[in-house]
Structure 1
Amino acid sequence: MIRELSLEVRSKIAAGEVIERPVSVVKELVENALDAGATDIKVSVINGGLDEIMVSDNGCGMPFEELPLAVKRFTTSKIASVEDLDSIATLGFRGEALASIADVADLTIFSCDGETSGQLRIRGGEVLLCKPVASPKGTRVIVRDLFFNLPARKKFLRSASTEFSHIQKFLQSMVLIYPNIQWTFTSEKGVIWHVPPQLPSEERFYSLFGQKAQFHAFTASQAELDIYLNPNIVGELILSVNGRLIKGSAYFQVLRILKDMWGGANLPVMVLRLNVEPDQVDVNVHPQKLDIRFKSQGWLRQALQELITQVRSEGGSLGSDSKTSGEMPHYQSEAWTTTPNDASTVVNETIRENYMLFQKEALQNQKDVGAAVSKGLEIKDYLYDAYILIKRDGVYELWDQHAVNEKINYWRLSSLYGVQFLLEPLFCGVDEETAQALTEMGFELQQVRGGYLIKAVPSLLLLSRSLDVIIDDLESIKGNIEKTRADLACKSAVKAGQKLSPMEIEALVVEGLKVLDVSYDPHGRPAVVKLDQALIERLFNR
């Protein structure tokens, strides 16, 4: 018997198309913030976004009287007619995002347009509260209990760590696409990263991924290309069209053209921003607006060819493997060309490369080691290529560079800081217990016949041992994840006697301050010793 579905069922089905997992919520709210002209965007998640997601911005905000309208389906300020669909210049346009979130979660909105401000709370589509309240200019959206009324959808969500990695990956891409925005990302464990717009590109990359890279920028008539060179990081293309992060068929279409023009060499990390007239692309082709259609490819090939010509002209300065001008930078990694049938072969060649340092010229432009890195803190001296003397809040502290870096690495692995997604999945034939252990360490796996495909790895693995060794360790200790995490953190840390540059010292201190307790390393050994007056007096038997 054919029947018309109720409004409630239709709303849940529609919401499921737009909001698939926590990262879908973050994406929609961040895009709303960008459309509102925000220059400062803060994202906070609890339990990987499963318990709470909060996105706040300093954009134009909404007047109080429009708050109830904002959560109704197909209400928007971005288009008004069918003709507008042919020239969409904003990231959002359908008026579905807030309504979809409100249908499957507990949604609270605070917003102020500079004149009026208010609060709206709606849970499962039912308005619980709507009143005027004081609020700063901009919008703050809090989403709790995602999919509380859709248990069928909720049970298909992954672990909190996996959901967190998806959110982090999306935000990393957006930070690189929008370098003129101030971004802050936090979780219940503290600040993951804070990236101000004035931060140099190399430092921005380091803040996001915990890895150093050489930065090169190229500009064509309708495209901008940023290249980050580090042979220890698996190549990746981050693509945006008119500011929209693109996946799906359009992404792979551009990737194929780019790889053909690149000439067979392995691609580095590339951020490609395509800027085209809105009527030359169709953005209304995907429920989550992750894909588009190009109306023609002529301009696309011309823009990419112009960029690649510029890259070739600077080929000699783009990496240690490029000896002459006109050569494309080429890495030893075979991740692009090897079939994903032998994980150890691919990852050994991808990961075990020598670490590329910044060029000496870049280091000479950094702040002096004695410069203040934050209010109330100064780096005073560097002793024996192993210890950093700092003064914090009037007290001198001695930092062991290896132990502090080890604690930072352990924290990053524990919070999935710097997950690197692979363009080509790698096959490994591990059992279910080992797969679960890998997932808890930050790997993203997809089960297939005979084993698992590895889709993402912790960034620190790129500076450590090969994947087959890690898997062997996990199989031998059977679930002792904390020991494996501590071991990987130790092997990835700088060593005592390994001389650091002023910039590296400063970066180590700044990263150490983000860790909740940097006083001890993961093995319980001291990492920071306070040289207070009482200790100094004891040294002199007073």
Structure 2
Amino acid sequence: MAIQRLPPELVNQIAAGEIIERPASVLKELLENALDAGARAIQVDLEAGGKSLIRVRDDGRGMTPDDLVLAVASHATSKIGSLDDLEHIATLGFRGEALPSIASVATMRVTSRSEEAPHGHVLTVAAEAELAPAPHPVGTTVEVRDLFHQVPARRKFLRTERTELRHLQELVRRVALGRPEVGFQLTHNGRALMQLPALPAEAAGQRVTAMMGEGFTDAALQLDAEGAGMRLSGWLGLPTASRGQPDLQYIYLNGRMIRDRLVTQALRRAYADVLFKDRFPAYLLHLQIDPAQVDVNVHPTKHEVRFRESGLVFDFIQRQVAQALAHGGAAAPMDGDGSHAPVSTPEATPTVSFASSGPSSYSGRLALGAPAPPPTSPGSALPLAEAERVYGQAHASRLGQAIAQIHGVYILAESANGLVLVDMHAAHERIVYERLKAQYASAEIARQPLLVPVPVTVTPAEADRAEDGQAVLAEVGLEVDRAGPEQLRVRAVPALLTDADPEALLRDVLGELEQGSAGHVVEGRVAQLLGTMGCHGSVRANRRLTLAEQTALLREMEQTPNIDQCNHGRPTWVELGMADLDRLFLRGR
């Protein structure tokens, strides 16, 4: 066959194949057009899962008759006009392909009226576009009927009505979450499915609660951070709001829905320290950046983007989210308008240091200008004034005053709100891990040489791994040398882990190294190494602590980032408020 020019209708159908995959693809393009037109109220009507009808009506600026005719022509748009505009895209659409592509695979009618016009006009798109006067308020209505009726091969690939409707609902949900200032109504076969009023900026949390549920907003932090020419705002679900699948993850770039690998990886890294394995975080985040620093013209559906300074964007997102999770603690209380107070960093309080004095004891020193109060016994007590002072300071703290240890595993404390239960091992594991991370970040993990090197028998593969990974082991505070084909010697361990079993520690670290490349472990693997080491350095279960030591642990917890979860994502403490206790005992009924 000789080379020939393709007819316009075939060109449009090929273009539609890249843009229009299913009814939700049509609706996405129409919603973006409505938002670009400045709509503040959008009505969406569907029939048969969008296969028979998709109607979008908005109260935006509308179009003149001339613009209406141009709107359905290929590559005609009011959103860009030069190469410079293409590098500073601030609208959701810009290619001028949506309406002609839709018209090539469906029956389409567009009715619109501009503010200056006395009445509207309707354009029926067929073989020849027909323009006629029509009554219509200011704004635009686009009707798309019989999707893919001209392309039976495409229509048979559509799923069931229920499946297509689910995709349509999720799309409206995503758009509505990103634009709380716009009202949305959604109907299907005449039945109302969604009705969301437009909200002022200060009440945006109400839209989040309505769409993501109270379970999310009750366990979420509000974030608002700026830096490096970017702004990151929105809601971060705490680990307690994690999910078994990534179905509550919403990211918007300059108001545009995206599914970007770089952003997702940055968020995954930020949550890695606090999330249990096989769990997914929930979040709704808006990233604002200079349009010139991002290319949105890299994918037909515009879901994927490319950043000019990808490393800077990654670091900014990862750092801000990690800091918010570390310092946010429990979810901030909801304000009356449905929004959270922004995350704030807790004030610094005196540090607490721990020093082990033997295999069965655990001593704490409170850096409060006075030594820790001596352990109480049934026959002794502090003077009343001193007891009130010490108790008052602890009771005013977040985790309160320790009152008992349960089976050598849990600490029971009385707080201002009720009772607190602490998993002693999990909490101290997080404390040691955060100390190791801080030392690693400053390249100063202190080592403690062993008086007698500890021999460890390993497999030849493990010995090779240790030899190849000398640099990594040194970075995390371990000094190991090879004494034979199947023999290693541990000469030094991190100073924070002097009580750990050197042999068990080395074996676990070698297990982590097996999953990294020889001689090099990326940052995520180093974090896992430190987490494993933190587990070895923490207080073990069934270890008896005095009340003073228990309280010292509580104070140290209050100073530690990410203390709400251990290194493996398990909770370190829970609180039973007075209302919870009253409910357990049926008080007030």
TM normalised by structure 2 equals: 0.52
State the alpha-carbon separation in 2 of the partners of residues 101 and 180 from structure 1. Answer: 28
Q: Which residue of 1 aligns with 2:107?
A: 106
Kept after mapping to 1: 8 A contact 2:27/2:168: yes
Find the counterpart in structure 2 of residue 24 from structure 1: 25
Counterpart of 1:305 in structure 2: which amino acid?
Answer: R
Mapped to 2, the partners of 1:171 and 1:332 lie a distance apart of 37
Deviation of the 1:164 alpha carbon: 0.8
> What residue is the counterpart of 1:68 in the other structure?
69
CA distance in 1, matches of 2:81, 2:199: 37
Q: Give deviations 1:295-339, integer Å, cap 9, x for gaps.
A: 1124412244124312321123379999856227669999xxxxx
Cα distance, 1:65 vs structure 2: 2.3
Deviation at 1:114, TM superposition (A): 0.8
1:208 Cα deviation from its structure 2 partner: 3.0
- Partners in 2 of 1:280 and 1:272 — Cα distance? 19
Q: Distance in 2 between matches of 1:244 and 1:332?
A: 35
- List runs of 5+ in structure 1 lacking aligned partners: 335-348, 362-498, 500-542
Q: Deviations over 1:436-466 (max 9, x none)?
A: xxxxxxxxxxxxxxxxxxxxxxxxxxxxxxx
SS of residue in 1 equivalent to 2:12: helix
Q: In structure 2, do the counterparts of structure 1 residues 253 and 232 end up closer, same or farther at CA, with 3 Å as the change threshold?
A: closer
Residue in structure 2 matched with residue 223 of structure 1 by the alignment: 232
**Which moves more between the two structures, 309-318 or 41-50?**
309-318
**Alignment match, 2:2:** 2
Distance 1:328 1:101, change over 3 A: farther
Give the CA deviation at 1:119.
Answer: 3.2
Matches within 5 A, 1:167-206: 167-188=168-189, 190-198=191-199, 203-206=206-209
Q: State the match for 1:58 in structure 2.
A: 59
Cα deviation code 1:499-518 (max 9, x no counterpart): 9xxxxxxxxxxxxxxxxxxx
- For 1:49-448, list aligned pairs within 5 A: 49-116=50-117, 117-123=119-125, 125-188=126-189, 190-198=191-199, 203-208=206-211, 212-213=215-216, 214=218, 215-221=220-226, 222-228=231-237, 230-231=241-242, 234-235=245-246, 236-247=248-259, 251-264=260-273, 265=275, 266-300=279-313, 301-317=315-331, 326-327=561-562
Distance 1:233 1:127, change over 3 A: farther
Shift of 1:171: 1.4
How far residue 118 of structure 1 moved from its aligned partner, in angstroms, is 3.0
Gaps of 5+ in 2: 334-419, 428-556, 580-585
Is this contact kept in 2: 1:217–1:225, CA < 8 A? yes
SS at match of 2:297: coil
CA distance in 2, matches of 1:184, 1:331: 44
Cα separation, partners in 2 of 1:86 and 1:152, compared to 1, 3 Å: same
Per-residue CA distance 1:239-264 (angstroms, 9 max, x = gap): 111111112xxx12211111112234
Letter aligned with residue 298 of structure 2: V
The 3-state SS of whatever aligns with 2:325 is helix
For residues 318 and 231 of structure 1, do their structure 2 counterparts lie closer, same or farther at Cα, with a shift above 3 Å needed? farther
For the residues of structure 2 that align with 1:103 and 1:172, how far apart are their CA atoms?
27
**2:541 aligned residue:** none
CA distance in 1, matches of 2:127, 2:563: 57
Helix, strand or coil: the match of 1:55? strand
User: CA–CA distance in 1 between the matches of 2:249 and 2:167?
Assistant: 16
Instruction: Give the alignment of 1:517-536 within 5 angstroms.
Output: none
Q: Distance in 2 between matches of 1:257 and 1:173?
A: 21
Q: String of CA shifts for 1:92-123, please: whole Å, max 9, x gaps.
A: 11100011111111111111111224333434
Distance (whole Å) between structure 2 residues aligned to residue 118 and residue 360 of structure 1 = 63
Deviations 1:212-251 (A, max 9, x none): 432431111121131346456744321111111112xxx1
Q: Is the 8 A contact 1:218 1:311 kept in 2?
A: no
Classify the secondary structure of the residue corresponding to 2:330.
helix
1:156-176 deviations in whole A, cap 9, x for unaligned?
A: 111111111111111111111
Relative to structure 1, the CA distance from residue 331 to residue 205 in structure 2 (aligned partners, 3 Å threshold; closer, same or farther) is farther
**Deviation sequence 1:412-437 (CA, Å, 0-9, x none):** xxxxxxxxxxxxxxxxxxxxxxxxxx
Contact 2:221 2:328 in 1 (8 A): no
Residues 159 and 328 of structure 1: CA distance in aligned 2, closer, same or farther (over 3 Å)? farther
* TM-score, normalised relative to structure 1: 0.57
Distance in 2 of aligned mates of 1:302 and 1:34: 29
Separation of aligned partners in 2, 1:260 and 1:232: 16
> Offset at 1:64?
2.0
Pair 6,40 (structure 1): closer, same or farther in 2 beyond 3 Å: same
1:358-411 deviation digits (Å, cap 9, x = unpaired): x999xxxxxxxxxxxxxxxxxxxxxxxxxxxxxxxxxxxxxxxxxxxxxxxxxx
For residue 16 of structure 2, give the secondary structure of its aligned residue in structure 1: helix
- Aligned partner letter, 2:233: E
What is the RMSD of the two structures over their aligned residues, measured on CA atoms?
Answer: 3.3
Does structure 1 retain, via aligned residues, the 8 Å contact 2:37–2:60? Answer: yes
Give the letter aligned to residue 312 of structure 1: A
Select between 258-267 and 226-235 the one with higher mean Cα deviation: 226-235
Distance in 2 (CA, whole Å) between partners of 1:104 and 1:190 is: 26
Residues 461-490 of structure 1 deviation map (CA, whole Å, 9 limit, x = unaligned)? xxxxxxxxxxxxxxxxxxxxxxxxxxxxxx
Answer yes or no: is the 8 Å Cα contact 2:24–2:171 preserved in 1.
yes
Q: Distance in 1 between matches of 2:195 and 2:147?
A: 26
Mapped partners of 2:30, 2:568: distance in 1: 37
Residues 243 and 281 of structure 2 are in contact (CA less than 8 Å); yes or no, is this contact kept in structure 1?
no
Stretch of structure 1 that moved more, 321-330 or 145-154: 321-330
Identity of counterpart residues, as a percentage? Answer: 35
Per-residue deviation, 1:187: 1.1
Distance 2:128 2:272 in 1: 57
Distance 1:74 1:360 in 2: 65
